[in-house]
């Protein structure tokens, strides 16, 4: 049996997926709901990073304390966690229903190589609060559940020895 037709079919599929932006790395944004793979070139703060091919990108559904200008309690810890977890790593991302914010940042959900949603990890660790802005609410319930757990278990921001007032 010849492998020629199989290889040709796989090549056609790869080209089609690349044209849709599903494979990533080509600078095009994926269709809504599709994911693409890229690398995190730099972390700006706890909820903003530079993604190769997308530029400055804001994590959807999370709000970490500020570290630039008006520094806020637990901001440095959130920023360090994001930097340690994402910087220089390959990630999958999904653009929100609204792809860019008013500052031109891409609005993204980010997954680690092991399949964990990083946006949820920030909240679960107590590094961020939830931030719901329609129409980007795809994972809002999942994020709310992580926030309830973090508060109940007094993690990070919610620890009585930190900032919760």
Catalytic residues: 58, 66, 105
Q: By C-alpha distance, which of 66, 84, 61, 63 is closest to 145?
A: 61
Q: How far apart are CA 66 and CA 63, in angstroms?
A: 9
- The residues, any chain, with a CB within 8 Å of residue 20's CB and separated by 6 or more, are 30, 31, 34
H-assigned helices in 75-117 = 75-86
Q: How far is CA 79 from CA 83, 129, 141, 152, 154, in A?
A: 6, 14, 24, 23, 19
């Amino acid at each position: 049996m010849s492998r020629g037709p199989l290889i040709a079919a796989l090549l056609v599929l790869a080209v089609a997926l690349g044209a849709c932006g599903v494979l990533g790395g080509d600078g095009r944004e994926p269709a809504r709901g599709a994911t693409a793979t890229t690398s995190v070139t730099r972390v700006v703060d706890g909820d903003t990073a530079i993604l190769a091919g997308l530029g400055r990108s804001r994590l959807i559904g999370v709000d970490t304390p500020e570290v630039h200008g008006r520094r806020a309690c637990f901001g440095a810890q959130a920023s360090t966690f994001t930097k340690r977890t994402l910087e220089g790593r390959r990630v999958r991302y999904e653009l929100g229903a609204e792809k860019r914010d008013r500052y031109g940042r891409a609005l993204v959900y980010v997954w680690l190589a092991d399949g964990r949603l990083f946006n949820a990890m920030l909240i679960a660790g107590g590094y961020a609060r939830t931030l719901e802005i329609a129409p980007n609410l795809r994972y809002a319930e999942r994020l709310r559940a992580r926030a309830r757990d973090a508060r109940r278990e007094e993690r990070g921001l919610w620890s009585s020895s930190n900032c919760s007032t």
